[in-house]
Structure 1
């Protein structure tokens, strides 16, 4: 999806930014709880909207 976002932005002469989140660690098996995901991802989205 990020590649398509950047390609479409480039074709339209616009800027684009992709924010990625990690909730599960593949090697250690650690993961965020559903509540932690909601809270931390919401913070990330609010910061992204402020940047935009």
Structure 2
């Protein structure tokens, strides 16, 4: 019985290695959304402090 090697898991049906097509786009999108919401939260906190005075 032949055990598949670690390289076999990254290969296509014909045995050739698949290209590395992964991107960080979704990580950047999530980071941007976190920064956006943090900015919006800081805006409302500052607005509330100014209105309270």
- Shorter-chain TM-score bucket reads 0.3 to 0.5
Q: TM-score with structure 2 length normalisation?
A: 0.37
Q: TM-score with structure 1 length normalisation?
A: 0.37
Q: Which has the higher helix share?
A: 2
Bigger-Rg structure (1/2): 2
